[in-house]
């Protein structure tokens, strides 16, 4: 079996604070973390890392940085600067087919939708673990144990085996510092340019927007004035929810806690 190919997806994008200034453009910390994990995993598995970006020639900056950091190959999928996430994913999928693993950042510098990894997993028919905040490589073997952040501060731990698409947050890993020699060579490294592949299954253009069926709704009880007073709550709710008091700090704190408890925001 040939050595596994590990993909790191990088997006070169203008800084939202300086949108017209290339000096401030680059890859997000999350993308950089993805590249670092790709490099670490390649070492674990004895594989090679391919750095991929989609965009015009100016975006090759991130690929050269990736090569300087240790990526074995750099591919730019030629495309315009702004594209649909599904089209970006389709472009990357053309390069990532057959890859053992695909690492993405959870967000780009311009804080887009973060949906490319999901589209990419769908396009590749691969497993996905998105929004990962911790990665442990389970040596030996092709698996990684990852922790996802869920709503409400909950966590989910998954054992992922490739082929898989994993998107990571920026704090997961610090991209290693490129060596001076590697950096100098990378400025003239060759970058493969491949044409953009159109997505295999494009959503049909919507010709008739969704409209819910008409439904008969009964009129509410009571007089309109009564309902209006209930909704705008001239009397009852203010008494229950708000009051202004002057208290010493300890007493004020105690009162706030008591009120919160009374409203059911605190347990017990």
Partner 1 sequence: MTDVDVIVVGGGPAGSCAAITAARAGLDVVLIERGPFPGSKNMYGGVVYPRILDGLIPNWWEEAPVQRWVTRRSTMLLTPTQALTVDFRSQAWGAPPYNGATAYRPDWDHWLAGHAEAAGAQLITSTVVTGLLRAPSGAVTGVRTDRPDGDLTAKVVIACDGVNSFLAKEAGLYEHTDAKHFTLGVKETLALPKEVIDERFAVRDNHGVDIEILGGTGGVNGGGFLYTNLETLAIGVVLKLTKLGAQKARPEEIIAGLKRHPAIAPLVQDGELKEYSAHVIPEAGLTMMPKMIADGLLVAGDAAALCLAAGIWLEGVNFAMASGMYAGEAAAEAVRAGDLTAVGLAGYQRRLSDTFVLKDHRRLKRAPELVLSDRVQHLYPQMIANVAERMFRVDNPDPKPGLRRILAQERKRAGVRRRDLARDGWIGFRSFG
User: Restricting to residues 6-45, which ones interact with partner 1 according to CB under 8 A?
Assistant: 23
Is 184 a residue that touches partner 1 (CB under 8 A)?
yes
Is 178 a residue that touches partner 1 (CB under 8 A)?
yes
Identify any residues that bridge with 165 across adjacent strands, giving them in sequence order: 102, 128
Q: Residue 180 and residue 178: Cα distance in Å, rounded?
A: 6
Is 182 a residue that touches partner 1 (CB under 8 A)?
yes
**Position among 83, 84, 183, 259 found at the interface with partner 1 (CB under 8 A):** 183
Nearest partner of 170 among 207, 132, 202, judged by Cα:
132
Nearest partner of 52 among 97, 18, 20, 16, judged by Cα:
97
Is 204 a residue that touches partner 1 (CB under 8 A)?
no
181 vs 209 by CB, closer to partner 1: 181
C-alpha dist (Å) from residue 191 to 35, 39, 78, 251: 17, 18, 11, 68
Instruction: Candidates 28-36, 115-123, 170-178, 189-197: pick the segment binding partner 1 (CB under 8 A).
Output: 170-178
Strand ranges in the chain using DSSP code E only, listed in sequence order:
5-9, 48-55, 73-78, 101-105, 127-137, 143-149, 155-161, 164-168, 192-195
Contact by Cβ (8 Å): 112, 106: no
Instruction: Candidates 30-38, 173-181, 195-203, 218-226: pick the segment binding partner 1 (CB under 8 A).
Output: 173-181
61 vs 127 by CB, closer to partner 1: 61
Rounded to a whole number of angstroms, the minimum distance from the CB of residue 117 to partner 1 is: 27
Is 180 a residue that touches partner 1 (CB under 8 A)?
yes
Angle at 111 between CA 107 and CA 112, to 5 degrees: 85
180 vs 215 by CB, closer to partner 1: 180
158 vs 178 by CB, closer to partner 1: 178
């Amino acid at each position: 079996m040939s050595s596994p190919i590990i993909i790191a997806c990088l997006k070169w994008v203008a800084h939202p604070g300086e949108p017209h200034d290339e000096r401030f453009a680059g890859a997000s910390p999350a993308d950089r973390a993805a590249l670092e994990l790709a490099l670490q995993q390649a070492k674990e598995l004895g594989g090679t890392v391919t750095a991929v970006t989609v965009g015009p020639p100016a975006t090759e900056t991130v690929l050269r940085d990736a090569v300087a950091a240790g990526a074995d190959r750099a591919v730019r999928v030629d495309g315009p600067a702004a594209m649909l996430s599904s089209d970006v994913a389709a472009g990357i999928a053309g390069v990532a087919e057959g890859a053992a693993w695909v690492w993405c950042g959870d967000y780009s510098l311009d804080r887009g939708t973060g949906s490319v990894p999901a589209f990419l997993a769908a396009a590749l028919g691969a497993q996905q673990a998105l929004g990962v905040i911790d990665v442990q490589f389970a040596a030996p073997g092709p698996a990684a144990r990852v922790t996802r952040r869920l709503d409400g501060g909950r966590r989910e731990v998954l054992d992922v085996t490739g082929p898989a698409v994993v998107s990571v947050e920026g704090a997961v890993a610090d991209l290693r510092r490129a060596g001076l020699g590697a950096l100098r060579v990378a400025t003239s490294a060759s970058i493969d340019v491949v044409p953009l592949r159109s997505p295999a299954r494009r959503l049909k253009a919507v010709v008739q927007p969704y409209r819910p069926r008409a439904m008969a709704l009964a009129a509410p009880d009571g007089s309109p004035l009564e309902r209006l007073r209930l909704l705008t709550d001239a009397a009852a709710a203010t008494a229950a929810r708000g009051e202004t008091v002057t208290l010493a700090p300890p007493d004020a704190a105690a009162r706030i806690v008591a009120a919160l408890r009374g409203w059911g925001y605190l347990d017990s």
